[in-house]
Structures are given as C-alpha cells and as structure tokens.
Structure 1
Amino acid sequence: MNFIRRIGSGDKEPEVIGTYLVLTVILHLSGIVNSPSVAIRGYEWIPLLLIGLAAILIRRRVLLTATVIMFLAGIGLLIVGSLGGYFLIFECVFGLFLLGSARLRTFGLVLLCLGSLALGIATWLNTQNAQDVVLSLFMAGFILFTPMLWAENVRTAKELAKTEAQRTQAVQLAAVAREDQLVAEHDFSRVQERTALAREMHDVLSARFSSIALLSGALLPSAPDSVREPLQCIRDESVSGLEDMVAMVRMLHEGGPALQARIEDLPELVANFGSQVRWEYQVAEPQDFSPAVHTAAHRTVSELLVNHAKHAAETALELSVTQDGDLTITARNPVVAAASTATGARIGLENIRTRAQALNGSFKVHSGTDFEVTIRFPAVSEKA
C-alpha cells in the first residue's frame, strides 16, 4: 500500500519509471501485445520506451517538453504494438495536470476532449459501428480522463495539506503572540507593583528612619556615658537603614538587579550587631562563590542575628561561617522556654530556607536542648 501511495503521489519519478519498465518487459515476455500498425523486427519498442521513461525524469524542470516527448513515445509504442504506450500516455496526462499551471491544465482538458471526439469520429468512419464508437470513447476516457482526475485529486490533497500546515503555523504564531502579550502584561503589572512598593517604602519608612536618626542624634550630646554608645549605634543603624532603603527604592523604580552584598562584609556585620555572639569566620577564597551566594549568605547571617535578638536575646549565639568547598553557615543557641511564638516568628527561617533552595543549597533545623540551624550554599550555583 505504501508503494502504491508513493507512486500515486507523483513525487517518486524513479519508482514510477522502474514500475513501468518492469511491467512493459513482463508484458512483452508474456506475449501480451497489440497488433503493430507498422511492421517491426521486434525490438523497436525498447528505445521508444527508454526515451519516454527518461522524459518522466525531466518533467519537473521542462514540463511541456517532457509531456510532448512522453506523448510521442507513447504513440510510437502503440504503433509498434507495445502496451507500454498506454503507460506513457497515462503518465503524460497525469504529469500535465499534476504539475501544470491553471492555463496549461485548461488547454490540456480541451485537447483531451478534442482527442476523444476525434477518436470517436475516426472509429465511426472506419467501422460504421456504434458499438465500436462507444468502446473507443470508453477506452479514451479510461486512458485520458482517469489520470486527469487522479492528478486533480492528488493536487487537491496536497493543497489541503499545505493549507492545513499554514493554518497550524498560524495557530502556533497566534499562541506565541498571545504568550508574548501575557508576558508583556505580567511585566507591566510587575512594574506597577514595584513602583507602588517603592512609593510606599519611601513615603512610610523614610520618615521613620529619619525620625529615629534625628531623635537619637539629638540625645547624643546630653546622654550619659552609659547610653551614649547604644544611642550612637542606633543612629548609625538608622542612617545605614535609610541609605539601604533609598538604594532599594531606586532599584525598584529602575527595575535593576537586587542589592548585592559580600561575604567579606560578614565580620563587620556581626561586630556591629551588639549582641552576645561567639563568632567563627573561615572563608579563605570568597571569590569561589557567585554574587548570588554572596548576597544570600549576607542576608542569611543578618536574618539569623535578628531572629536571635528577637527570640533568644538573653542567650549566647554561636555563629560560624566556614568554607569547605561549599559555604556552611551554622547558628546555635540554647532553647529558651519563653521564646516568641507570635505570628511571623518563623518567617525569617522560611526566608532563609527559600534562599538556600533557590541556589541549590540546603537548610536544616535541629531543636533539642539547643536550637541549631545549618545552611549550605554551593560554590557554583546553576541559578546564580
């Protein structure tokens, strides 16, 4: 079935040529031939057949020339008695209506009609027998109009397939365009959210940071020595917080990357925190880590310090940041019976977990007599 389908599609000229050659040879070897109109020696059909078959190979480049050659070779084969002439005339009509332009196909249809009519008239003049005329018209219709209808069906099927492919492509393009539109709408919505967030941060938090800095600064000259250092720390932290907030607002407005920090800044961060921290820092080659890991490690340590100050400030925090291929951050403190259980008490830990997982790291919590958190960041992150 696949072989017949390939031949019927008109796209496999070598297979068509081989099939016609084999069939014609079998017919001649079997003695199935027409009575020749011209006396022959028996082998004249071979060059005519080869010429007609060769024309099939060139019909896609010179259709009209190939059609004429096939037609003449087919008539020649019928004259010398070879049934292979029917194959060539069949393929001549099939190729013309499969590959020809609309004008050429119209011209070919007119010729087929005239040829059939001429054959009927010639049969009547020769035999004066209506039955022979009907038989000749039937044979003409089978030989001439069957390949025409076959070619038209194949041509229509190919045009439908092409139209369907174009429709499918159009649907895919429409889907891509819709996806692009949704992405654009999402980006626009995100920009609006970032702008609104930046505006709220600036309007609300900047006033509070400024107020803290001004009030603590005003108290410094008259403050007793015992509170002067904490007041100075409060003022410095509020000023730093205001600067960070301004940078973050600018980042949100401009749509730039998130604010970045460095692992090398962690000792200063811990030293300035002002809580009970036993600190270990062993990072010999911080350049082995991506900027994303630097920022995540800095944010993680800051979160751990804040969590300790909020929930276990009366205990000592053991904090270590070490490099052993990966970056390992460990925080440990004794469990406090009255630790905060208010809403949001575990948000900080969830933030740390999210940062670690986003960078293909790990996050572990152990709670017994001591509360311990261990975070590992890889030296090379696929999502950096």
Structure 2
Amino acid sequence: MAVAVAVADCLLNLEDTSAVGQAMAALACVALATRRRFPLAVFLLTLPASLMLDIVFAPFAALFTLAERSRDRRLLTVCAVLFALASAAPWPLSDFASHDRTWTVVYFFYTLATAAAPVLLGQLVQARRDLRRRLVEIEEAREHERLLHAQVVLTRERAQLAREMHDVVSHQVSLIAVQAGALQVAVKDPDVKDGVRAIRSLSVDTLDELRHMVTLLRASGGRATELTPQPTLADLHRLVTTSGIDTELTGELPPNIGTPAQRALYRTVQEALTNVRKHAPGARATVRLWHEAGAFGVTVTNTPPTRPSLPLPGSHQGLIGLRERAELLDGTFEAGATADGGYRVTLRVPSDGDA
C-alpha cells in the first residue's frame, strides 16, 4: 500500500523531470518495500528523489518507519534535518546562487516542522508497543509474586502443623504407648494382655508414622527447603528454557552433589533469572556451572537492560534467602553490579559441604 501511494506521489511530480530524477524516484518507491528491515538505508535512498522532485510520501513513510524502530533521538533529528535540506534545496544545485535564499530558508524550516509529524508519530507507536510489553511483564511479575506469597503462606501453615503434631499429637500417642506398655505388664488375663499388646503396637506404629509426617512437613516448611516436590539439577535446563529470557546455560557440575546443594543451586538460578526479568527488561543472561578443587557453584550474569524498568512489588528477601542457603552449606554467596552495567550473582559451595 505504501509503495503504491509513493508511486502515485512520484507520478504527479514527474513532469519535465530528467532520466536521473525518474530513476531516483523509482529507486525510492522500490526501496519502501524493505523499509521495515532496513529503515535507515531506505530513508537515505529517498533523499535524492526528495532533492530532485517535490515528493513527500516516500521520505515521510521511511522516516516514520525509522522513528518507530529507532531509539536514537539524535539520529532521528539528523534525518529530519537531512530531509528538510533535500526538500528545500533547489535542483539543480547550480541554481542555488540565483535562487531566492530567503524563500529557501523559510521553506527549510517549514519542511523541518512538517518532518516532525512522522517522527513523533513513529515514536508514539514505539512507546505504545513498549507499554503493552511492559504491562505483560508487570502482570507476569505480579502473578509470580502471588505464587510466591501463596507458597510462603502454605510453608508457614505446614511448619505450624508440624509443630502441633510434634508437640501435641505425638506426645499424646507416646503416652498411650507408655500406658499400654505398663498395662501389658500389669494385667494377667491373656485376652486383655493381647488387646493391650495390640494397642501398644498400633500406638508405636502410629507414632512412627507421625514422626515421618512431621519430618516431611518440616522439610517443606522449614527455612532451608521449600514445598515438595523439590527441584534438582535435572530441572535446571527446563527452568532456563522456560524463563522467558534469552539465556545460555554452560558448564557442568560433579555428578555426586547432595540434594540440599542441588536445591540451593536451582534456587539461586531461579531467583537470579526472576530478578533479570523484573529489573532488567530485554537483558540477556548466562548461567555458568563450574567446579574446581574443593568447591563448585553457579554464576548467573546478565547484560544491562535494553529498556527502562518499572518499580515492581517485591519482598526484597530473595538475595537474603540465597545468602542463608549458602551459609547452611558452609558456602558463600556474592551479588553485585558488573562494570558494563549488568549484574552477577555467584553461589560457591565447598565440596565437603554438599551433603
């Protein structure tokens, strides 16, 4: 559609035009077909036609596309000035000396003001596109926060339930088992003795089951671990590929890493990628697994953001939790900005602390 309108614009201004001018007009119209792929080059190709003919649509379309895709406002200003110069300058250029210079200056500023329209419209389209993308990111972040909040609530409930079962139910079942044992020794009737023995046996079995349940609840409700099923390094590749970030996973780890250390490595990568998505929109990340003499770990590094980030709600406890995980494993956790404006987090676990 844009090419057809540009052709019509050129045909209306081809009267008494040289072959060179016609060729430049044709080049400008044909180049518009690739303006979305090469916006700057296409705009520059429309300038000769603007110099030789009184056309506006082809350079305007190219300038709009460039403004829609470029974030360099100085470049856009230079392009608008170039278009105004090409439109205001007389053709052939040898006529400049005899041309009315006052009219040339007036027409230059008029054209420059007109060129602001496609530039501003293109920037508006770009801003709307960025805003839609930002709203999606905010919604994803809020959904993630809601999930984390639900996990925290469930974790606390499980921890409280584990305490109640340990302090109340287990204590009472233990008393039943003790009383049944004492009664088993005291009674003489064989039938009663068998019944008491069955009560004591069931009480002991129930107590074992309760202790097992308390252990599971504490494992999913304690500070060092999360909700079951627990993630391991086998889930790391899926975490990276589904993070929504351009992420590269490199390196490897020893095969005999304990389960607590695997969870700590997984949670470190998970928290780091979540922070990249929230605070560094458009950044790329690298997850590097490594091991050396006496230690192993993971380093997550991201590039600077390509778009400004909006302040999002958060608990501000993520890095604190990762540091506590590292301390539980006798390891270290480091986080900080890089020299190029990115961010890096590193978890280091000693080889004898991964049990």
Structure-2-length-normalised TM-score = 0.49
- Structure label with greater radius of gyration: 1
Asked which structure has the greater RCO (Cα within 8 Å, sep 6+), the reply is: 2
TM-score (norm 1): 0.45
